[in-house]
Amino acid sequence: GGGGGGEGHRACSAPGARPAPGSSLPGWPGSWAGRELPSAGRSGAMAAAPGAMERLLDFSQPLDIPLLDATVAAFYGSGPPAERQAAERVLNSLKEHPETWTRVSTVLEASQSQNTRFFALQVLEEVIKFKWNALPAEQREGIKNYITNVIIKMSSDEEAFRRGRVYVNKLNVALVHVLKHEWPHAWPSFLPDLVGAAKSSETLCENCMAILKLLSEEVFDFARGEMTQQKTRELKDSLNREFALVHELCEFVLAHSQRVELVRATLETLHAFLSWVPLGYIFESTLVETLLKLFPLPPFRNVALKCLTEVGSLNVGSFYDSHFVKLYVVLMTSLGQMLPRGVNIPEAYANGSDDEQAFVQNLAQFLTGYLKVHLPLLEGSPEGQAALLSGLEYLLGISYVDDVEVFKVCLDYWNALVCDLFQSECSEPAPAASPFAFAAAPGAA
């Protein structure tokens, strides 16, 4: 999500007025608003001679886009080794040059090569990650506005969004790197603006979900080594504090959207959030019920099951015990209709599609994750006992699947179960000595 003109496109807009269409963004060479985005077609540039490539390093001259396209094509092509080595040397020199990033906008606008645009985004990403705070404020603002404008433009047009999805994903990554510097202190309206923009278009909403997923992963999974502990804590606090907006958006999409891609993207985003969100958003809303309704539907069963695995693996005390029992019982009832008991699971797995094999893998993760934490709950519940035996039967069948990783998941659980049973037996009081004694053998002295 991002900024841009118009009431419906306020997401990710930076504080302050946005330049009028056709004007130059501050600190960023060229005029961007309202221009056509470069096509995703291949470069038609002719091969560049190794000597000609060196002209790209002359920053006193305008950038030769066809030459840059040809140089990138030479690097990725199958031409003579000398040509490829020359292209690699020039591209590495460009990456290291302190002024190359100022030409990124020109490349992204004018290049007809997808690989060249990816190269330019790589340069920009490095600047954002490692030199952001050294840039003047107006240049930071210009970069931020440009990225958000392009994301909005491409995400609002379904054809452009589908055709340029990889390109948009790379822009999303660049935006998240900006957020790691700017949010929340210099961009406090980011989440409200993002959620507001998501409601203006289903494809824009789908991409907003992708941005939220990336942000959650960066903050909670990949933050170590890239951000200080204080910055990581600040981002986590901001996400927790404003998660109500995200939760409301996710529930709205799951309740009303008929678009498969959007619903799946929303479930993927929820999966990234469920390990850390406050429990009230999970158990005191319709979220679990919605996931259980989506679970039997083929387009959503795998990602819904991954979400339910995150929920089912939570160990949060006894307050939500009834919710955990209901989750398991309802899921096992649905599973019995999708995968009847008695089915030869190893054979079905061997002959199944990638999606069907992924379902068996995810089912193993759900059963082992849930039972490790909540086995006593099911043992103590009349309705849970039958569902427990059914789940163990499924897990036993999955254990025979000819897949090492699946077997490791199952084996880990069986090991935990056997240890638990052994400890339970050892803790039982020893039986009293039996009064029975063997008789002496006939003829014994």
pLDDT-based confidence at 325, cuts 50/70/90? very high
Dihedral angle computed from the Cα positions of residues 265, 267, 269 and 270, in that order, rounded to the nearest 10 degrees: 170
State pLDDT tens for residues 80-133.
Answer: 999 999 999 999 999 999 999 999 999 999 999 999 999 999 999 999 999 999
For residue 199, pLDDT beyond 70: yes
| CA gap 154, 166 in Å, rounded | 11
| CA gap 121, 115 in Å, rounded | 10
Higher pLDDT residue, 14 or 56? 56
| CA gap 415, 131 in Å, rounded | 50
Across 253-278, average pLDDT? 95
| CA gap 256, 250 in Å, rounded | 10
- What tokens were used for 377? 């709950």
Mean of per-residue pLDDT scores for the chain: 87
Its pTM surpasses 0.85? no
State pLDDT tens for residues 149-164.
Answer: 999 999 999 999 999 9
Residue 300 neighbours by CB distance under 10 Å: 20
Higher pLDDT residue, 118 or 13? 118
Q: What one-letter code names the amino acid at 35?
A: R
Across 235-243, average pLDDT? 92
Q: Could you tell me how many helices (H) and strands (E) the chain has, helices first?
A: 21, 0
For residue 42, pLDDT beyond 50: no
| CA gap 94, 227 in Å, rounded | 27
State pLDDT tens for residues 337-365.
Answer: 999 988 999 999 999 999 999 999 999 99
For residue 2, pLDDT beyond 50: no
